[in-house]
Structure 1
Amino acid sequence: MTDSLQTIYLGGGCFWCTEAVYVQVRGVVDVESGYSNGHLPNPTYELVCTGTSGHNEVVRLVYDPAVISTREVLEVFFVIHDPTSLNRQGADTGTQYRSGIYFTTPEQQAVALEVMAEMAASGVYSRPLVTELLPVHNYAAAEPYHQDYFERNPNQGYCMAVAAPKVAKFRKTFARLQKD
C-alpha cells in the first residue's frame, strides 16, 4: 500500500448493500457505513429515516489509488445502483437513499464529472442521471449494528433479496477487481 490513501463517500441506496460490495473490492482498505451531507452534526439512524436531517446513507471508502483508481471505484458504483432514480433505490424511498458522490479532493470531483458525462452520453440509461456530486459535509459513522451488516446477516431477508444480488452483479461484472 502507498502512503497516499484516498477517501470518498458514496450514496447508492441502503448502505448495507453498498458496503457489502465494496468490502470485496481490491484496493479498498476500509469501508464504513454512515450518514453525510445533511444539515445536522452526528445524526442517528432514527433521525435520518425521518428525512428531516437531510443526510444520505453512504459508505466511507478508504482506498489505495495505486491498486484501484477513483474511476474504477466509480465504475463499480454506477453498476451496483440506479443513478437515475431520485430519492429511491428499489423499495427504499426517501432522500436518505439518493444517489450521491461526496468527494474529498478536486481530482475526485474531476474524475466523477468525467465518468458521469460518459455514463450520460453512453445511452446505458434511458433516463437522466440524478446523482448529486458535492464535497462531503457533516459525515457521521452509522451505529455499530449497521457496520458489516451483510457479512453478519447474510440470510436475513433484505440481505438475500437486495444486497446479495448487488454483490453477485459486482462479482460477475468486475471479476478483475475482486479481492483474492
Structure 2
Amino acid sequence: MSEPGVNDEEMSAARLMDLVDSVQAGMKSIENMQRQWVLLTATGSAANKRVTVSINAEGTVIETRFSDDIDDLSYAEIAKAVTEAAQNAATEMQRKTAGLTASLQEQSSRIPKLSELAPGALDVLDLVPAAPQVSLAPPDAPERLAAESEAMVFVDTEQSGRSVSQSGVTDSSW
C-alpha cells in the first residue's frame, strides 16, 4: 500500500536511490577489504614447532624456518612436517580471510536481491554451484589419481552431435 501523497513512481525512485547508495557503500567496503587482504599473512607449524611456514594472502609460501633441533628428524619427517606446516598456515589464512569478509557478507545481505525488485527474476548467486572440496592428497596418491581419472573424461568432438564425413582430407593442396 502506498503512503498518502506518494505515488508508485516516487517510491520506486526512492528504492532505486537506496539501492545505489547500498551498492556504493558495498564498493567502498570491498576496496577496504582488499587493502587489508593484501597485507595478510598466516603461519603454521608442525613437528613440535621444528618447522614453521608462513604464507601470504594468496597462499604463496613467503618464509620457511627450521628450529635448531631440526636434525632430530629424518628427511622424510622434515618433508612431512613442511607439508603439514604449510597446510596449517593455509587453514589459518582461510580463518583470517573469513573474518575479513564476514562484515562484507553481512552488508551485502542487506542489499535487495534482483528477485525482490523484479518478482520472478532469478538471483545470479542462486545459480552458482558450490565449489567441491579440494584434495590435500600428494600428487601420486591413489585417491588423487582416481579423482583425476574421473575428471578426465573427454567427448569425441568429431562424433558429438554432428555428422562427419569419413572420407578424410579432400583438399588436394596438402
Is TM-score (shorter-chain normalized) higher than 0.5? no
Task: Compute the TM-score of the two structures, normalised by the length of structure 1.
Answer: 0.23
Which structure is higher in RCO with an 8 Å CA cutoff and minimum separation 6?
1
Q: Relative to total residues, which structure has the larger strand share, 1 or 2? A: 1
Which structure features the higher share of helix residues? 2
TM-score, with normalisation over the residues of structure 2?
0.23
